[in-house]
Amino acid sequence: MEDSGMEGCRLRLRNTFLEVTSEEDLQTSWSRFASWPCAESHAPEQRGESMMRFDDGPQVPQSPSSSTVETDFTESTTHSSSGECNPCLFFASSAGCKHESCSFCHIHPARKDGPTRRARKQTRDKYKSQVMQLLAGNQEDMQAQQVKLQKLANGNWFVRAYILACLNGHENVVDGGINRIPEEDRRKVLQPGPVQRTE
């Protein structure tokens, strides 16, 4: 790092970039509480305390919700560091999640952690039919349904993406079939074979 001074400004060469700092910025020493509201009577400088305390961490008032959030965050970070993080399928979908009562991770996004090659058509169809059976199953027991879907999607990127597509309405789940065409629309679809011209 090289420093050089010019009239009214300071030039600093860092790697291949020049940093220009004016003398005015160098002379202004900003305190830690420069933007702190003046009406607060419990500011450290008004109580005679020092502003820089290195041995104590920042004092944050504890609320009941912050302790639970902190616990959830530490649990999810330990799961992600050990490779056991299982991101919630319903959190990113339009179906929504149960939030507090959900036991799956809401912090980390799903990683693409499946095989690099695309699965065979037979395997993909097998996964699709399993997902369809779970989604068309008992709608009253959503917790068990979510646990089974999470277990099926864990470690399989194709299944996770397919479940999200079904939950967001990109894949129609009607009577266990996918993308079924209603009868009134079926009549409008061009049927295979020769077309009869009417003039």
Q: Is 198 inside any structural domain?
A: no
Does the reported pTM lie above 0.75?
no
Residue 95 pLDDT level (bands cut at 50, 70, 90): low
Number of domains in the chain: 1
Q: What integer is the mean pLDDT of 109-131?
A: 78
Q: Is 175 inside any structural domain?
A: yes
Q: Is 84 inside any structural domain?
A: no
**Pairing between strand 173-174 and 177-178?**
antiparallel
> In this predicted model, which residue has the larger pLDDT, 109 or 1?
109
Residue-range definition of the domain harbouring residue 176: 89-180
The residue whose two tokens read 């037979």 is 122
pLDDT attached to residue 67: 44
